[in-house]
Structure 1
Amino acid sequence: MPTETVYGLAANAEDELAVRRVFAIKGRPATHPLIVHVASAEAMASWVRAVPEEAQRLAAAFWPGPLTLVLPRSARATDAVTGGQDTVALRVPQHPLARAVLEALGGGVAAPSANRFGRVSPTTAEHVRADLGEDVDLVLDGGPCAVGVESTIVDLSQGAPAVLRPGGLAVEAVERVLGRAVPVRTSSTVRVSGSLASHYAPRAGVILCEPAQAAARVEALRAQGQRVGVLGPEGLGLPAGVPLYEVPEEPAGAARVLYTRLREADAHGHDVLVACLPRAEGLGLAVRDRLARAAAPRPPEP
C-alpha cells in the first residue's frame, strides 16, 4: 500500500502468520522490528503501556505524517512485530489510501518497505511489482510517494527523546515542538527499521563525495576502467558521456526523487555510482543517512 513516505508491504499486525509472511517475502531477519501503522493518534494508547506528554505533543503536531514514535509496548504488540523487544514503533500515515485501509481494518498494519530486504525502497507501484512480482496479493496504486524517504523515528522509551532514524520529518521540526535539542543516534540498544549499517543499496557500488569533488572522482574511476554514473545536482562539470541521475540541491526535493534515481542508475548497469551528499539540514540529513548505508560494506549474498 502507498504511504506518503514509501510503499509498504502491509499485513494485519495482529495476524502472526501474515506478519511472518512479510518477513519471508522480504527476506528480512525476524529480529528486525516492524512499524505498526494505525489510523489515529487515539489508537496509540492500546498499543503502548503509557503515552508520555512529549509523545502526545509530537502526535498532535505531526500525525498523520512521516513520524514514527517508539514507546514501551502493551500486550497488544506481539514479538512478531517488535522483534522481541519491549518497545513498539507506531505511525499514523497521511496517504489517503493508507488511511482508508486502516479505517476499514479498525486495527494496526505492519508495513515495512515493499522491497527485498536491504535494497532500494519503492516509491511507485511499478517499483513494488518489479521487486516483489507475484509474491504479493495486491498492489494499491496511489501514485508516486510525496516524501520519498522513510519516516523519522523518535525514541521516547528511554526518557529523553532521541532520533534513531532521520527521515521525512526534519529533526529541527521535532526540536521546535519539544523545545529542546534532540540527538540523532543511529546506533542504539533499541533496534528499529532501517538501522543496519548496509541498507537501501542499489546493485552498483556507491561512493560518496561532496559535489565539488564529483568530477575528479569520476575521472579517477574511469581511469581504472569502471563504468560510472553520478547521482547529484546539475552543474558538476562532469566529463562528456558520464550519465547524471539528477537530484535537486534542495534537500526535500532530493529526498523525493532519491530512490527513483537509484533505481534508474541500477537499470543502466554501472559498476560504481558516485553520489553527491546534500546539505546536512532538513531532509538532507535523511538523504545523507540513506546514501551512507547504501555505500556501506554489504553482507554476502545468501
Structure 2
Amino acid sequence: MKTRTIKIEDIHAQAEAFEDAGKILRGGGLVAFPTETVYGLGADGFNAEACADIYRAKGRPSDNPLILHVADRKMVDSAAIVTPLAEKILAAFCPGPVTMILPKRDAVPDSITGGLGTVGVRMPDNDIARAMIRAAGVPVAAPSANISGRPSPTTAEIVAEDMDGRIPLIIDGGPCRFGVESTIIDCTGDTAVILRPGAVTREMLEEICGSVALDPALVGADTVPKAPGMKYTHYAPKAPLTLIHGAPEKLEKAFAEEIQREQEKGNTVGIIVSEELSEKLGQIVPKELIAVYGPRGDYYEIAAHLYEALRFFDNKKADVLFGEATEEDGLGLAVMNRFRKSAGGRVMFV
C-alpha cells in the first residue's frame, strides 16, 4: 500500500483534503491525523471491520479499547449516554485533552470497547482533527498512530516511520501541542476517577468536580485497568531504560556513578535528561547520546518532547538508557506515568 501525506496549511483552502479523508474513513479505510495531544490512527468508529484494521495496523491487542473522537455534542450523544458528571466536564474542558468514559450506545461495536459496556469519548481541541471528523460524518475511533508498544508520535514524520505502507493517508498538521495522551476520566459514577493522567490535571478537575480519585490500577494495585492504553506496556524505547529519581543536587553524582558502572561493562550508555543535567554530564556522555526533554520542572515542555526523546535512541547504538525522573504534581503526574511505563517500572531513588 502506498501512503500519502497531505500537509495542511489552511483548513478552508484545503477542503478537498478533508473530503478525501472523510471518503477514506466512510469507506472503511484508516487515516492518521493530528490532535493537540498526539497523532491518532482513525477509522469509522461505528464500523467494526474498519476498527479491526486499526488493531492489525498497530499490532494492538484486540481487548485494548479504542477512544471515539467527535467533532461536536451531537456526535457525543450518538455514541454515549452523557452523565451529570460528564456534563460538567464537557462544559469546562471540551474541546480539550480529556476523554470521558461513558455508558455506550448500541451503535458502538462491542469489539472496540474491550467487552465493556462503556466507551471513551473525546472532542479534540484541534481544528484539523475536528474538520476531518466532520467530513467523515461519524465518530472516529483512534488510538495513537504508532506500532503498539512504541512511543506515541507527535509529528507526521514520526507517524510515517511506523505507518508508511500500512495506511493510505497521513494528515500533517505539524507538531502536537501537549505531547502526551488525553486525561481519561471515568464519568459513570458520582465521583470523577482518573484512569490515565494527562494535560487536564487532577487539580484542574477538582475545581470543577470537587473530589477526584485515582484509579487503583494507576497507582500500582493489581487490578484490571478500565482505560485504553493502560493494560499493556507502552512508550518503550528499544534499549532498556531505568529512571533515576532524587533531589537535583544528588542527581549528577548518581547518574555519573551509574553511567561509569555500565561503561566499565563495555555498554554504550544514553541519557534522557533535563537541560540542566545534560550540561553537567556532557563530559562523560557524548552529545549524540544525550536526549534533552526540556528545562527541569517545566512539565508542559517536558510532556511535549518526552516521546521524541524516547524515540531519539531508535537509531543510536545505545545498550542502556538512564532517564531523569520528574516530580508528580500537576502535569508531572502524566509525564511520570508515561516515563515509568517506558522504563517498565524501573525507578532508582537516590
Whether TM-score is above 0.5 comes out as yes
> TM-score under structure 2 normalisation?
0.81
Q: How many equivalent pairs are there?
A: 297
Contact 2:85–2:191 (CA under 8 A) maintained in structure 1? no
Q: Alpha carbons of 1:197 and 1:293: their partners in 2 closer, same or farther (altered >3 Å)?
A: farther
Q: CA deviation at 1:297?
A: 7.4
Question: Are residues 1:7 and 2:39 paired?
Answer: yes
* Structure 2 letter corresponding to 1:240: I
The SS at the match of 2:121 is strand
Contact 1:175–1:182 (CA under 8 A) maintained in structure 2? no
* Structure 1 letter corresponding to 2:47: D
Which of these two proteins has the greater Rg computed from alpha carbons? Answer: 2
The SS at the match of 1:253 is helix
> TM-score under structure 1 normalisation?
0.93
Q: CA deviation at 1:85?
A: 0.8
Q: Which of 209, 233, 258 pairs up with 1:198?
A: 233
The SS at the match of 1:173 is helix
Q: CA deviation at 1:106?
A: 2.0
Specify the alignment match of 1:290 in structure 2. Answer: 338
* Structure 2 letter corresponding to 1:39: A
Which sections of structure 2, spanning at least 5 residues, go unmatched? 1-32
Query: Which sits farther off after the overlay, 21-30 or 195-204?
Result: 195-204
Specify the alignment match of 1:266 in structure 2. Answer: 314
Residues 85-117 of structure 1, C-alpha deviations (whole Å, 9 max, x = no match): 111000001111101011112210001111111
Residues 58-78 of structure 1, C-alpha deviations (whole Å, 9 max, x = no match): 111111111000011121211
CA distance in 2, matches of 1:219, 1:241: 10
The SS at the match of 2:157 is helix
Q: CA deviation at 1:42?
A: 3.9
Contact 1:36–1:81 (CA under 8 A) maintained in structure 2? no
Specify the alignment match of 1:215 in structure 2. Answer: 256
Contact 2:101–2:186 (CA under 8 A) maintained in structure 1? yes
Q: CA deviation at 1:267?
A: 2.0
The SS at the match of 1:88 is strand
CA distance in 1, matches of 2:255, 2:90: 40
Which sections of structure 1, spanning at least 5 residues, go unmatched? none
Specify the alignment match of 1:77 in structure 2. Answer: 108
Among all aligned residue pairs of Structure 1 and Structure 2, give the percentage whose two residues are the same amino acid. Answer: 39
Question: Are residues 1:57 and 2:119 paired?
Answer: no
Specify the alignment match of 1:257 in structure 2. Answer: 305
User: After superposition, where does 1:1-302 map in structure 2 within 5 Å?
Assistant: 1-48=33-80, 50-185=81-216, 186=218, 189=224, 191-210=226-245, 212=251, 213-236=254-277, 237-238=280-281, 239-242=283-286, 243-248=289-294, 249=296, 250-296=298-344
Contact 1:70–1:89 (CA under 8 A) maintained in structure 2? yes
